[in-house]
Every structure is written in structure tokens, then in C-alpha cells.
Amino acid sequence: MKLKNYALGQWVEGTGKSTTLLHAVTGEPVAEASSGGLDFKAMAEYARRVGGPKLRALTFHQRAALLKAMAKHLMERKDAFYAVSAATGATKGDSWVDIDGGIGTFFAYSSRGRREFPNETFHVEGPTEALSKGGTFVGRHICVPLEGVAIHINAFNFPCWGMLEKLAPTLLAGVPAIVKPATATSYVTEAMFREMIASNILPEGAIQLICGSAGDLLDHVTEQDAVAFTGSAATGRMLKEAKPIVEHAVRFNMEADSLNCAILGPDAAPGTEEFDLFIKEVVREMTTKAGQTCTAIRRTIVPDGMEEDVIKAIRARLEKTMVGDPSVEGVRMGPLASRSQVRDVGAAAERIRAAAERVVGGGEFQVVGADREKGAFYQPELMYCADPLGRSEPHDIEAFGPVNTVMPYRSLDEAIELARRGKGSLCGSLTTADPAVARKVVLGVAPYHGRLLVLDRTSAKESTGHGSPLPNLVHGGPGRAGGGEEMGGARGVLHYMQRTAVQGSPSVLTAITREWTKGAAETTDAVHPFRKTFDELQVGDTLVTGTRTITLDDIVKFAELSGDRFYAHMNDEEARSNGIFEGRVAHGYFIVSAAAGLFVEPSLGPVLANYGLENLRFTKPVYPGDTIRVRLTVKQKTAKDTPEGGIPQGVVEWDVEVTNQANDAVALYSILTLVRRGE
């Protein structure tokens, strides 16, 4: 089968020399890949000229809807992807992480796009910054999509997840992408990509695919482009230092393989639940994807005196792990991705053995259901380094396969030092039931890690494990791990956007952001805003209410009704004694309630429900005899999708300011209401 590239809106077969891709289990040819003949400069320009404008014309909510639709489309066809993935040597569990996990990132970012971003083409970030004493000059940060192309260079170990976890935040940001999977497993990526194109869900030019070499693609990057790389640290550094990347200050996110560690806490001795959890996690990380994950445990750091117990327990589990063809019942670990990987892992392991003795592995081993010589099989290998502080090899050399080194520590400070010698890791884990140990170790190793898992018997049942990156948490790490971040919820989206500080008058910023800024023009009329539909309401519409004088009787009744009899509300002398109040004060929540009584229009109308209250601050106490008034202003409007048979509606955010008789603010907050939209 000859793989095709998807370029300039067409499926194109590469010309010239092809790379033959082999079945990891049988060694038989699976496909041929070539990108010969592609015009990489034209592909980049096509993405910028065609895909970019179409994506940027959509709001975050519309882009989120596309992600959800695509996720559903792919999920309905996932069985076909599993069948193709089997040729990589992946077990069903391995493929689940790659395929279902990858599709899951689209679902996750679809949800996040609707919840955390506006129904706008851009994002307003953070509060208004006051830049002048009189309030006529203010600042705000906006985030707009880059007007270039995102180039995604992915690794061979996760041909589906690697593509989708980068595409999800990129497309949500409104930026088109060119996907370059690792050639060795690109046939899996191509199979899923074909379904993405066949769905016709994404706008033209939103995504393109290169199966084979990326050629001179990076020579054509501009200051508006971004590159995201996953792979070896050496390759990543080479690409990051390429002249066009440096000259144009191209955003370059690097997620590199690292020497991740697992630390066994001193309290987690043999016989404890934590010890058993630790052993299970280490073995799982050694055998999942045959150890070919960027987050796999490469260094197992255990208390001095527990090494023998740890090695014995790991050996017992590994001896029960059947290696072979994943299609055979009982096989729990498949082959590496290719025979070349077998050679590379073996060579790296041999270099590590200069500082460590092999305690598990080596020699002949049985392969179930396949020919060991034809497939890319590698026996799990465990080593022991007695002097981890005196030897650098286990901390510097990574064997990208089922290879792990056990090393002892004599104190928590020593364990922390060993973890840090990885010079930057994607993730690390600590197994302990002692909160003091967890605090010391986490704070000690956090500067060197992108993510840390603390595992104990309480979290074990629902824990996703040491090596599982999640869409809502950052995936990346400092130093050797590349210094980048992927996913991480909204952070991953903002990586593909330009943050710009905008300065001007409150009215100008309101016009730009479509979000009312204090000090901007306000509009009042005879119609109460609660009588207006979502479509009739305009940002800046304001209601200034009548007044209400707060009495001592109000405070007493609210205390009885709510049960809140805090001394400052109930006793003059005690209230004065705290040095803050002049006497008894009204409950803050009563002031909020009284404010609602002033601004609510009670009759049946377009307002359907109170949706929430945010950013409440009580800025000045209210005493018996004080008179309050409310200013209610439409701050922002967000239309909601209408469910089938539902009522068309939108969310209106109202800026609320409660003032006293001296016009001093006593309470500031926002309320959210669901408001009926026009038919």
C-alpha cells in the first residue's frame, strides 16, 4: 500500500524513493511512504491563505462544535483504527491510549472551548488595568489567533494521540495545521486522517498531512507560524536552532523524551498497599507500548535497604508478562516499533550497564505467537546501580524501550537530588502515604518536572497513572524534556494566539472587546433591562435603582432567617472591639439580597433564571441607617446553542455596583442570567 499525502486540498502520492514500513510483529511490509514531489512552501502558503481565514472567521464556540463533531465521527470508526494500529505491535490497551485517548482530547477541548472561551473570534484575558488616576485611560489584554500555520512534528509511538492532542488546541485557537507524523507508523495516522478529511467537518485548508520527509518545510516559516515537536532531545534541539526558526522568532514548542523517575517513599515498605501500588506502576510503565513512551519510568528510586525487595517484586511481575503478538490471548507486551529500535535500545542499555548490573533480562526469551527474529521484540530489562550519585550513565542515557534502572537513596534529600539529575523530565511520581514526605519531595523536584503524580491507596483506584498526559494538565517539562508545554487546558490554546495589550479610553476598549469597561458610556431608557430579550439588550445598558435604607431590624431578621449570628452583626461592643467596624454591621449576603430586591423586575419576562454570581467583594461595611443603591450594567453577552426543542437563550453578564449614601461602593460583583433570545 502506498500512503498518500494530503496537500493543497488533494490526496497526493509521493514520487521518487519510498520508505518501506514494516509490521512490527511479523516484519512484513505494511506500506510505503514518500513525500517526494510535494511543494512544501505552497502547502504553508495554502494553510495561511485558505485555512487560516476560514478558521479565524469562526468563534471559539463554533470551532469547539467542529471538534466535538469530529470526535464523534472518529469514535464511530475507531474499530478500523484499532485494526491498523495492530501492525505497530500495540496491545489493545496501548491502542486504547493512542486512539480513544487521542479522540478524547477533541472532546475535552470542545467542552473547554464552550466553557472557558467567549462566543467570539478572540479572547479577552484578565481584568481591566487602571492606567490613570481619573480612570479615562485603561488597558486590557486580548488574545487573537496567529495568522500563520502550525507545523506539528510527531513521534512514532502515538500516531493518533500525538496528532490529535496537538490539533485540538490549535484548531480551537483558529490556526490551520500541517501534520507530519513519524514515518515509521504514519500508516496509522494516515488512516485516521483520511476519515477526518472524508467527514467534511473542518473548513478547507484547516489541516494537511505529510507522510514521509518534511523536506524544506521549515525553511518557509514566518513570524506568524508555530512549530510543535515531539521526539528525541537531540533532534528537537537541531530543529529549534534552525536558521529560519531563529531568524523569525518562530514559536517552537518541544516535548522531548526524558529520564522520568518513580520514587518510593520511606514509609511505603514491603507489605504496605503503597509498596504494591509502586511495583504495579513501575511494571506497567515498563511494558505499556513496550516502554516506548516519552513519559515511561526510566529510573526507579527506592530507600536504601529496600532494593532487593523492589527488584524481587518487579522480577516476579515481569516473569508473568507474556511478550509476543498482541493478538494472542494473554500477551501483555508487544514488540518495539521497528528492528532499528531494537538495535538502538540494546545499544543504549549496554552503555547504561557500564554503571549498573542487569538483574532482570538478557539472554534468550520466549516470544508468543511470533518469530522473535522477524519481529521487533525486546525483553524487559531491569538494572541496579549501587552508586547512583557517583555514576552519571543512568541519569544521562535513555534506552527508549522496556529498560529501567533501580537506584537507592539514604535520605529524602538524596532522593530529591537523584530525581533532579535527570536534568528535566516530563513527569515523575512519588508513592507515599505520608503527607510530609509528599510535600518535601514535590517541592524539591518540581523545578525539574512538568508533572508530578503522588500515589497512595486513596487515589489509586481513580488515578490515571504515572504516564498518562491529560488534556486539562500541561504536558511538557524543563531542560532535557524540551522546555515546552502542550495541552494544559486553555494554556494550550493560548500558545497559538498572540497576546496584545490594548490601551485607550473605557469606551474604546468596550467597543473593541464587546465587554463593558467601568467608566465607559452607559445607556439608560424607560424599559427595565429585565423586560428586554437577549437580542434587545446591548452592552452598556444600565439601570440605576431606587434606594433602600438598612435598619437594625433588617439585620436581626436576616440573622434569624439565615442562622448567621456572627458577633459583628449582633453586638455593638463586640463589633467595635475588633478594630475594623464602628459598630454592628449588616451581613454582606443581606446586602446582596437587598440589592437584588432593588434591581429585579419580578414579573414574567425574558429573564429565565439566575445563572451564577462571580467575583463578589465587600468593599465597605454597611451600618444600620445607611442607604444603598444599585447600578446594574450589561457587561457581556454570550449566545448559547439551542438544544432540540429547547428555548433559544443566551447568558448575560451584569456588572453590579452597590453604593451607600456617600456614593462609596460597598459591594462589587457580576451576576449571570439566562435570557430568552428572539425567535
Positions marked active-site:
255, 294
Amino acid 318 reads: L
Which cell numbers in the block locate residue 185? 507508523
Which 8-state DSSP code applies to residue 517? -
Q: How far apart are CA 268 and CA 277, in angstroms?
A: 9
Which cell numbers in the block locate residue 97? 491510549
Question: Given CA atoms 571, 576, 580, 581 in this order, what sign does their dihedral have?
Answer: positive
Which 8-state DSSP code applies to residue 15? B
Which cell numbers in the block locate residue 264? 518510593
> 3-state class of 509 per DSSP?
helix
Phi and psi angles of residue 546, each rounded to the nearest 5 degrees, phi first: -70, -170
Q: How far apart are CA 144 and CA 150, in angstroms?
A: 15
Which cell numbers in the block locate residue 454? 503522588
> 3-state class of 570 per DSSP?
helix
Q: How far apart are CA 252 and CA 229, in angstroms?
A: 8
Sole residue written with cell 445607611: 626
Please choose, from the candidates 103, 434, 90, 564, the residue with its C-alpha nearest in 3D space to the C-alpha of residue 287.
Answer: 90
Residue-wise over 609-625: b if at least 16 C-beta within 10 A, else e?
eeeeeeeeebeebbbbe
> At what angle are helices 101-116 and 161-173 packed, to 10 degrees?
20
Angle at 336 between CA 332 and CA 340, to 5 degrees: 165
Asked if 157 and 186 touch (Cβ cutoff 8 Å), the reply is no
Asked if 634 and 529 touch (Cβ cutoff 8 Å), the reply is yes
Neighbouring-strand partners of residue 626: none
Residue-wise over 261-300: b if at least 16 C-beta within 10 A, else e?
bbbbbbbbeeebebbbbbbbbbbbbbbbbbbbbbbbbbbb
Asked if 145 and 84 touch (Cβ cutoff 8 Å), the reply is no
Measured in residues, the chain has a length of 679
The secondary structure of the chain in percent helix, strand, coil, rounded to multiples of 5, reads 35, 25, 40
